[in-house]
Structure 1
Amino acid sequence: MSLLVTHARLITVPAGTDDPGYVEDGWMLVGDDGRIAALGAGTPPVGTTADETLDVAGAFVAPGFVSSHSHLFTSGLRGLGVADTLYGWCDAMLGTTAHMSADQLYWATLHGSLDFLSNGVTTAYNFTDPLQAWEPMVDGKRTGTAGLRGLEYHWRQAEGTRDSGIRFVDAAGMDVTAGTPDEVFDRFAAEVAYTRTFDADYALGSSIMGQVQWSPHPDAAAFEVEAMRRFGVTNQAHFLESPEAVEHQQSKFALYRDAGALELGLVFGHFIQTTPEIIAQSVAGGAAMSWQPASNGRLASGTALVPEMLAMGMKVGVGLDDQACTDVSDPWQNMRIGIYAQRARTKDPLSMMPEQMLRLHTLGSAEIMGVADRVGSLEVGKFADFVVVDPRRPDVGPLWHPVRSYVLAMSPRNLKAVYVGGRLVNADGVSTNPLAEEASAKVHELPAAVIPLRGHPH
């Protein structure tokens, strides 16, 4: 069904320019295929018609947010590990999922995906909980001998994402210490093959959850590079995140570099505990990074040198990470934390401006995920994934600089509607998904089901 949006404060975030593409009073036409057919300033040309007209009466219409680093299965695990940095927090959170079934992970992932949509995030890079269960880190290391769960553990998480209606890139760990090389590649191939049966308009791609920081296997990077080439997938690695065992983490950079991962477009998630040499070699090799401001603050990980990386030519996206370490999936909060953290670190307000931050959390994220041809901005031919944000409910006062106010003064309270492919998926915080109520009920059952198995996580 086609849709005509009128009287919109359009923020289009077009590619190829730093201009946010603001239009004070504009319109947008969505075709039957869910893609943007036309848009412009003023009123639509005479004869422009659609099956439905949405008059937003001066509200912002902007691209749905893109989270370039997310763990949607964590939606039932908020508030854990508050007194810990990364590894202790993982013990609390992933030590809990180790006792969850594939079906429980399905409902948790569906709940997390709907939560993202309710907050205006329409596309996510989603790390699934690996098949190999979590084991505690000791001095930044682990043995890699934890038990392996069946393929349905990944498949059910992928189904939860799919059934929510969010667009996503599905990332799976290779767990290279579990089995022979042939078994490792066959297992990963089965994970990729399954998600490739989904609707390609929603399942936008497959990826590797890079595990070199976590894996004791000396050839973990080589396994991942071979899989990237063999299966045509991307790779994002949690890397140099935690303030613990920093020298050990840094020593593993050479594994990715020497295996050829940088040239294949490896994305480093977090990338905080770096050195000038590591950054320079990453930029020269063509690697990108995903920045998670709220998560980095929650886990006391530190502040990535994002302005410096951008100045050197590194591509950067922004992720909300997960509900268990950001607690509220609020992209406006995430943007503001990012801006404030960089300005506090550099003591320079120009080090991170609102327009730039918005681009990083939309088109920039889509670019490092390899999906910018389909999402991340409001441009003809792309999917009509957008948010309707009313600056008068609640009223923030005059919009002296509308785009800056959109970033600095808006919040989920102002978010009135979320559309994916021109279809309403959430209105005033209420999901249109028929599974939403059941997903909520299932997630609320988790404590009673899991606590007898592992005790109460800290």
Structure 2
Amino acid sequence: MRLLIKDITVIPMTGPEEIIKNGAIAVEDGRIVYVGPAEEAPSDFRPNRVLRGSNFVALPGLVNAHTHAAMTLFRGYADDLPLKRWLEEAIWPLEAKLKGEDVYWGTLLACAEMLLGGTTTFADMYFFMDEVAEAVDKSGIRASLARGLIGILPGADKALKESEEFVRRWHGKANGRITCMLGPHAPYTCPPAYLEEVVRLAEELQVGIHIHVSETAHEVEEIRRQYGCSPVEMLEKAGVFRVPVLAAHGVHLSPRDMEILAQYKAAVVHNPESNMKLASGIAPVTELLAAGVTVALGTDGAASNNNLDMWEEMRAAALLAKVSRNDPEALPAYQALEMATLGGAKALGLADQIGTLEVGKRADIVLVDLARAHLQPPHDPISHLVYAARASDVDTVIVDGRIVVEGGRLITLDLGEIMARSCSAARRLVGKPLHRSLL
């Protein structure tokens, strides 16, 4: 498809001052071939489709850099519990009942929610990853996928072999929209010897590692009790940073931890709403950025958030940084938006493909409708996107040059069937009827 988007405001995320007020974007074969002022667009470009709207703002697709997509099935099931009880008493027993079909429909529900809200890429760590990949392929979204690995459980070696097979099967598939990582759950569930095996495999497969790190104070205390060091230092000793690392949460980090993360160019994924809900704490985002660490944003799973709304995460990240440091300048709006776009792309190793609107990059584009009461008057579109916009303000979503949401409606999936199938799976898992719904 040759697509032309014109008469719009373009925020390319190539610098805080670089806003194109009357802009145009031309797309061909899934790539951006022009972005700039509308009057300078190539006159010989012959589009199949033209999208326009003076009230629209175009920006790169949002990147949800840490989630467990199929946990949409557990949304609202076990709220208001600390992380350890939440996992051990509520979530893990349900996950033991999961079947591949459950994960497929739960992931499709997550893909639908994310696409409708302008998220075009997500990083997932879960189980039944072939079904996750099939859902990603069907939906048209972009994803970095990792099978979760728990090294202290029986069958850990088998799980690692399954991870290898999954990566070999899916890495680079769906026209490149699917990339893969290895997913050791956390330092407290994956001993050093197991992590060393994971690293060796990651080096062989030439992929990165997606892992939870320093999410709670209890985790840090437990690792220090067992190994005499912090979780980040434990990972360094196990050689984990020999490969690219996507470190989810990073709430309880020492200055030395941040030095290590910066030294090895590891990325941290800030999950503000999940961390608030589980009372895990506030990640030192300002300090991480000052140390030169790439910081992305994620929602975590919908069981601990309870949605996959990246607009809320941007707002929460900015406000938490300000109040935690007693400094209104701690995390400006542009930095928060950058964490949700280019920061996420860098964290997933995809910055050469997505994260900004530039010629040659894949066409992952979101159009937000500013003609809403809560987005007027339009003094500053970047401020509005971070502090005032909602997922429901997204009008059009394009992934890899393909329109997947138009007029606020999902056009690649049957949302009614997905919701019905997901609710059916959730009923079976919890073993009791759900609250009455419209389905």
**What aligned pairs does 1:150-229 form with structure 2 within 5 A after superposition?**
153-177=128-152, 183=158, 185-196=160-171, 198-203=173-178, 205-215=179-189, 217-229=191-203
Paired letter, 2:174 = D
Measured in 2, the distance between the counterparts of 1:428 and 1:107 equals 24
The alpha carbon displacement at 1:399 in A equals 1.8
Give the secondary-structure state (helix, strand or coil) at the position aligned to 2:136: helix
Give the secondary-structure state (helix, strand or coil) at the position aligned to 1:351: coil
Measured in 2, the distance between the counterparts of 1:167 and 1:180 equals 30
Percent identity over paired residues:
26
**What aligned pairs does 1:247-396 form with structure 2 within 5 A after superposition?**
247-250=221-224, 251=229, 252-394=231-373, 396=375
Q: Which of 235-244 and 176-185 deviates more?
A: 176-185
Say if 1:36 and 1:384, in contact at 8 Å, map to a contact too.
Answer: yes
Q: 1:175 to 1:325 in 2, by over 3 A?
A: closer
Match of 1:2 in 2: 2
Structure 2: tracts of 5 or more residues without a match: none
Indicate which of 208, 214, 230 corresponds to 1:234.
208
Measured in 2, the distance between the counterparts of 1:422 and 1:442 equals 29
Give the secondary-structure state (helix, strand or coil) at the position aligned to 1:316: strand
The alpha carbon displacement at 1:448 in A equals 2.7
The alpha carbon displacement at 1:364 in A equals 0.6
Q: Which runs of 4+ in 1 moved over 6 A?
A: 179-182, 453-456
Q: 1:75 to 1:345 in 2, by over 3 A?
A: same
Q: 1:371 to 1:246 in 2, by over 3 A?
A: same
The alpha carbon displacement at 1:95 in A equals 2.4
- Kindly indicate whether residue 404 of structure 2 is the aligned counterpart of residue 407 of structure 1: no
**What aligned pairs does 1:31-46 form with structure 2 within 5 A after superposition?**
31=28, 33-43=29-39, 44-46=41-43
Measured in 1, the distance between the counterparts of 2:309 and 2:159 equals 37
Q: 1:271 to 1:395 in 2, by over 3 A?
A: closer
Say if 2:196 and 2:238, in contact at 8 Å, map to a contact too.
Answer: yes
Say if 1:80 and 1:89, in contact at 8 Å, map to a contact too.
Answer: no
The alpha carbon displacement at 1:93 in A equals 2.7
Q: Which of 397-406 and 208-217 deviates more?
A: 208-217
Paired letter, 1:76 = L
Measured in 2, the distance between the counterparts of 1:154 and 1:400 equals 44
Q: 1:121 to 1:11 in 2, by over 3 A?
A: same
Say if 1:316 and 1:360, in contact at 8 Å, map to a contact too.
Answer: yes
Measured in 2, the distance between the counterparts of 1:440 and 1:20 equals 41
Aligned residues: 428
Give the secondary-structure state (helix, strand or coil) at the position aligned to 1:389: strand
The alpha carbon displacement at 1:177 in A equals 4.4
Q: 1:216 to 1:413 in 2, by over 3 A?
A: closer
The alpha carbon displacement at 1:111 in A equals 1.2
Q: Which of 308-317 and 263-272 deviates more?
A: 263-272
Say if 1:174 and 1:224, in contact at 8 Å, map to a contact too.
Answer: no
TM-score for both structures, normalised by structure 2: 0.91
Q: 1:436 to 1:20 in 2, by over 3 A?
A: farther
Measured in 2, the distance between the counterparts of 1:235 and 1:216 equals 13
Say if 1:20 and 1:355, in contact at 8 Å, map to a contact too.
Answer: no
Match of 2:113 in 1: 115
Match of 1:133 in 2: none
Measured in 2, the distance between the counterparts of 1:57 and 1:253 equals 48
Give the secondary-structure state (helix, strand or coil) at the position aligned to 1:208: strand
**What aligned pairs does 1:441-456 form with structure 2 within 5 A after superposition?**
441-452=420-431
Give the secondary-structure state (helix, strand or coil) at the position aligned to 1:103: helix
Measured in 2, the distance between the counterparts of 1:237 and 1:124 equals 15
Match of 1:100 in 2: 98
- Kindly indicate whether residue 398 of structure 2 is the aligned counterpart of residue 419 of structure 1: yes
Measured in 1, the distance between the counterparts of 2:388 and 2:250 equals 28
Say if 2:150 and 2:184, in contact at 8 Å, map to a contact too.
Answer: no
Measured in 2, the distance between the counterparts of 1:76 and 1:181 equals 25
TM-score for both structures, normalised by structure 1: 0.88
Give the secondary-structure state (helix, strand or coil) at the position aligned to 2:16: coil
Say if 2:12 and 2:59, in contact at 8 Å, map to a contact too.
Answer: yes
Give the secondary-structure state (helix, strand or coil) at the position aligned to 2:21: strand
The alpha carbon displacement at 1:6 in A equals 0.6
The alpha carbon displacement at 1:197 in A equals 7.0
Give the secondary-structure state (helix, strand or coil) at the position aligned to 1:26: strand
Q: 1:51 to 1:184 in 2, by over 3 A?
A: closer
- Kindly indicate whether residue 11 of structure 2 is the aligned counterpart of residue 11 of structure 1: yes
Give the secondary-structure state (helix, strand or coil) at the position aligned to 1:161: helix
Give the secondary-structure state (helix, strand or coil) at the position aligned to 1:107: helix
Say if 1:237 and 1:269, in contact at 8 Å, map to a contact too.
Answer: yes
The alpha carbon displacement at 1:20 in A equals 5.6
> Cα RMSD over matched residues?
2.3
Match of 1:48 in 2: 45
Structure 1: tracts of 5 or more residues without a match: 130-152
Paired letter, 2:22 = D
